[in-house]
Amino acid sequence: MKRLFLLTLSVFCACAAFAQEQGPLDALARTLSSGESRFNYSFEVKGDIPMKGNGAAALCGEAYHIFGNEMEIWCDGKTRWTIDRNTCEAYVEAVDADSYDYISNPATLLEALPRAFEIRSVSDVTLGGKALKLVRLVPAVGDTGLKSVGLYLDGAVPARVSITVDDGTETLFRLTGFTVREKSDASAFAFDIASLGADYVVTDLR
């Protein structure tokens, strides 16, 4: 369940990954590269293990933090801290920017998506009475663990994202309150593991 939750969170890294301009994604690329992106989200996993949840995220280059379902993920671009508030567990891992293991390391999708995925189609759709641009992407490299990504754009802002993994499990995200603010230093995305109580079990995997 924890690995599935981490994988669903990779969608936010996918949204931030378009630092390079790619045709219909040019406006989004410029928006995301201009500062620190913040938004709220809700998600629904459709598959053998259905799950729903919501939370908030902030993305700034390779750094990010994501809060949701009593879990927190902090990453300063070099180290990732995963905090499970339900089980009082914490994991500390080094980030491998060259890895394509998106299931266990969603941070790798942050920079890799532009070179690891390719646009399959672009179409106009209407959802909830709003006209959106749907960009469908598929892996362009080896085993990514992901089958496809569907990005629904409201102008330069991602409104919805669907992600399908190799076993067919689909997760739909709805993004609201998307804003861009001045970039923070990467240190703002680091987590102080010493701030956790004595009841936490900390596993350092570095």
Domain count of the fold of the chain: 1
What was the pLDDT predicted at 11? Answer: 52
**Helix/strand/coil percentages in the chain, nearest 5:** 20, 50, 30
**CATH number for position 36:** 2.50.20
Whether 97 maps to a domain, the answer reads yes
> What domain range includes position 6?
2-116+178-204
- On whether residue 138 sits in a domain, the answer given is no
pLDDT > 70: percent of the chain: 75
In a domain, 160, yes or no: no
pTM over 0.85: no
User: pLDDT at residue 111 above 50?
Assistant: no
CA–CA separation, 23 and 183 (whole Å): 25
- Amino acid at position 145, single letter: G
142 has a pLDDT exceeding 90: no
